[in-house]
DNA sequence: CGTACTTTTGAATCGCATCAAATCTGGTGG
DNA sequence: CCACCAGATTTGATGCGATTCAAAAGTACG
């Protein structure tokens, strides 16, 4: 994991953080497989993903991994603010740039700056809604339903509802809670049926259909 | 839904809210089947559940319901604070007492009182972690695994890990994302195997076993 | 006492997990 | 440039567990 002191904060981060916190950010470069933090460690940094892809995953009893969050732009594990130890693991799936903010500074700023606290709260509320949508998705019974739900819910590339596959279909599969084989088969069949279009690492709904 | 003007706030609520907000609370009594709010309405009240049981559910395309949250003590749909319209429906499963706080007042207090804002943030972060745990649970493949995970994660009655069934096994089933028949069968088999004990509407793990 | 709902058991079917194997891909080093 | 490797992608076959439909028995409530 490389360090790059001279920071150029992305717009999303610059408009959220108060000025005094922006100077506290440390830029990181991570490559595939890097751990941003690991289980059961006391959280010291809040990580913002500027580019690339990071998954937040939990480890089951048998060691199987469950993807709880895929982040391409935003914070990883916002809830770790008030947590004694990480409950999850953050792994880089696609190389990119990240910014680390000392949690202690962040907490101080939240108390001192009500406007910032409200912006932070809005962000956390968005994440809450995203997670509720994910629960709804995981309650769907078939792989096709889950996939279409994901594209309709999270796909916001340009006009059409679409989903980027840059992180690989496997990370999508574990986000959907299905085996990658089942996902490949469902994608193939939906493309065959003309429901989905696949091109340039992008998956999009070709026509409004309910399966 | 009945109104009871003279409010006696529960401890959990009294220690969270600042004094000026406590006088703004309206107490409600709801019975089974009551809607605390419905879909696509602009949120005007934040609801706190003091007793009874409320489920927050989303309606799927085919009209099937998905339980996103079961609340016996706490706020329903905290994220609706900054939302233009409700994305879910809140239904009373078991009669109880509720408190309604005007969202506008709540927002004002959050901006004006940094300490309150931090307490609120801590609560929302807990809900975030709870939802991540639920996603993890829904990724488990068998009903038995999901049930045991639920008991281990949320069951905190007294000493032993246990789960209250007062809301009915059906609401538990939809929270687990399985059919109620499958849940009945799994419960029966786990009891038969001696893994679970069932008595007085309580389900608890009798010995530490992994299935 | 009747109605509505929950709880429970049964049988048939279907979709997914799993194991296996072949192909394809990008990246590394000789 | 090619050989090679690790990982992703894809297709096939099999078995299991859950869904679904069905029906009976138990329970709460007016």
pLDDT in tens, B22-74: 998 988 888 888 888 765 566 788 999 988 888 888 776 555 677 778 888 88
Task: Judge: B210–A136 Cβ closer than 8 Å, yes or no.
Answer: no
Judge: B135–A135 Cβ closer than 8 Å, yes or no: yes
Q: Is B202 helix (H, G, I), strand (E, B) or coil?
A: strand
The answer to whether strand D lies under 7 Å from the CB of residue B178 is yes
Q: Which residue has the tokens 């890097």?
A: A34
Do residue B79 and residue A125 have CB atoms under 8 angstroms apart?
Answer: yes
Q: What is the DSSP string of B101-145?
A: EEHHHHHHHHHH-HHHHHHHHHHHHHHHHHHHHHHHHHH-SSHHH
The per-residue pLDDT for range B180-203, each reduced to its tens digit, is 999 999 999 999 998 998 887 788
Chain A residues with CB inside 8 Å of B132's CB? 56, 58, 68-69, 79, 87-88, 131
Residue B4 clears pLDDT 70, i.e. is over it: no
Chain C nucleotides with an atom closer than 7 Å to a protein C-beta: 6-11, 15-20
CB A161, CB A152: distance < 8 Å:
yes
**Residues A129, A135, A136: CA angle, nearest 5 degrees:** 90
Using DSSP's 3-state secondary structure scheme, residue A56 falls into: strand
The structure tokens listed for A89 are: 């693991």
- Could you say which of A79, A136, A139 has the minimum Cβ distance to residue B128? A79
State, as a whole number of angstroms, the distance between the CA of B181 and the C1' of D23: 13
> Residues in chain B whose beta carbon is closer than 8 A to a beta carbon of chain A?
56, 58, 60-61, 66, 68-69, 78-79, 81-83, 87-88, 110-112, 114-115, 117-118, 120-122, 124-129, 131-132, 134-136, 138-140, 174, 177, 210
Which stretch of A97-111, A121-135, B94-108, B193-207 has the lowest confidence by average pLDDT? B193-207
Note whether A136 contacts B61, CB cutoff 8 Å: no
Tell me, what's the pLDDT at A188? 94
Exposed e or buried b per residue across B188-198, where buried means at least 16 C-beta atoms within 10 angstroms of its C-beta? eebeeeebbeb
Q: How confident is the model at residue A38 (pLDDT cuts 50, 70, 90)?
A: low
pTM of the entire predicted model: 0.86
Taking residues A132-153, report their average pLDDT.
92
């Amino acid at each position: 994991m490389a360090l790059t002191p001279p920071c150029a904060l992305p717009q999303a981060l610059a408009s959220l953080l108060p000025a005094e916190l922006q100077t506290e950010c440390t830029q990181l470069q991570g490559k595939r497989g890097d751990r941003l933090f690991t289980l059961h460690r006391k959280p010291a940094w809040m990580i913002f993903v500027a580019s690339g892809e990071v998954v937040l995953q939990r480890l089951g009893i048998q060691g199987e991994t469950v993807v709880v969050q895929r982040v391409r732009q935003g914070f990883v594990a916002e809830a770790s603010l008030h947590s004694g130890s990480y409950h999850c693991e953050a792994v880089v799936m696609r190389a990119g740039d990240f910014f680390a903010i000392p949690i202690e500074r962040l907490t101080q700023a939240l108390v001192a700056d009500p406007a910032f606290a409200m912006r932070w709260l809005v962000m956390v509320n968005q994440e809450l809604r995203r997670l509720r949508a994910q629960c709804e998705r995981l309650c769907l019974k078939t792989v096709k339903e889950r996939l279409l739900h994901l594209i309709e819910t999270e796909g916001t590339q340009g006009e059409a509802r679409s989903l980027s596959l840059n992180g690989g279909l496997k990370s999508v599969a574990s986000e959907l809670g299905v085996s990658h084989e089942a996902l490949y088969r469902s994608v193939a069949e939906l493309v065959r049926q003309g429901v989905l279009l696949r091109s340039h690492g992008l998956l999009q709904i070709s026509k409004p259909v309910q399966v």
